[in-house]
Amino acid sequence: MDSIDLTGKVAIITGASSGFGAETAIAFARFGARLSLIGRDEVRLLETVNKCTAVNNIVPLFIPLDLAHTGACEAVVNKTVETYGRIDILVNSAGKMALSFLSDNSMENVDELMNINFRIPYYLSQLVLPYLVKTKGNIVNIGSSMSKRSTPGMLGYTVSKAALQMFSRQAAFELAPKGVRINCISPGPSNTNLLAKLIVHHPELRDQINSNFQESTFDGKMLDPKEVALLICLTASDVFPSLNGSDMLLDGAACTA
C-alpha cells in the first residue's frame, strides 16, 4: 500500500485549537501539508501552530475566529486562497456537545448544535467546492459513533452528527463526477475538549457523564485523538482514491456495546 503523502496539499482544518482538530493539524504537518488552522481559542490555537511548526519548520496560516459569526466562513476560505492560491482538503472537525432533551422548553440548544455540527460544515463545503473541483480534492467530516446508539441527554448532539453523516453519503453522488471525494469519520468516546466542556457546564453531572462514556466502551478506556487524526490523514490522502461517501466508525465497537 502506498504511504500517506500530503506534500504540497493545502488543508483547512476547523476546530484546530483542541482535540481531533489539533491532533489532525500536527499529523498533517508531519505528512507535508500546508495548513490553514481555524479555532475560537487563540491561546490553544497558537499551541497547535507551535507544535506544527516544530514538526516541519513551516508556520501555518492560523485564523482565530468563531465560525458561527456572520462572514466567518467566507473569511476562512478567502484568506486561505489569498495565502496559498488553492485548497485541496477541508477537514470539518469543529463541533459542540451539549445536553438536550425532547422535554426541553426551548429549541436554543438544538439550534446551536445543528448550526455548529451540521450547518457550518455544510456551508464551508459549499464555499470550498469550486477550489476542490480544480484540485480534485476532498472533504473529511467528523461525525460520532454516538449517533449509532442511544445516549441519555445527547438527543440534539446525536441528531446533528447523524445529519452530517448523511450529508457526507448523499453529497458523494453529486461530487464524484466532479472528481471530488467526501467522507465522514465517526469516532467513539474520546479524551477531547468537547467532553471537558460538557462537564464544566454541568459539574453536578460529572460522575454520571464520565460513567456513561466509560460504560459505552468495552475496556473503559477513551479513544486516543491521535488515532483519529491518523485515519483522517489516510482518508484525505491519495492512498484510497475510490474512498467516497463512506462513514467510517472508529470506536472499538463501542456502538455495539
Q: Which residues are catalytic, by number?
A: 157
2 phi and psi angles, rounded to 5 deg: -65, 150
Least Cα distance to 135 among 56, 67, 80 occurs for 80
Strand, helix or coil at 140? strand
Listed in sequence order, the residues at least 6 apart from 193 whose beta carbon sits closer than 8 Å to its beta carbon are: 18, 19
Considering just the CA atoms, what is the radius of gyration of the chain in Å?
A: 17
Measured distance CA(21)–CA(19) in Å, rounded: 5
Residue 149 DSSP label? S
Cell of 233: 490523514
DSSP category for residue 31: T
Alpha helices in 136-247 (DSSP H): 155-175, 193-201, 206-215, 225-236
User: CB neighbours of 121 closer than 8 A, spacing ≥ 6?
Assistant: 14, 92, 94, 141, 164, 167
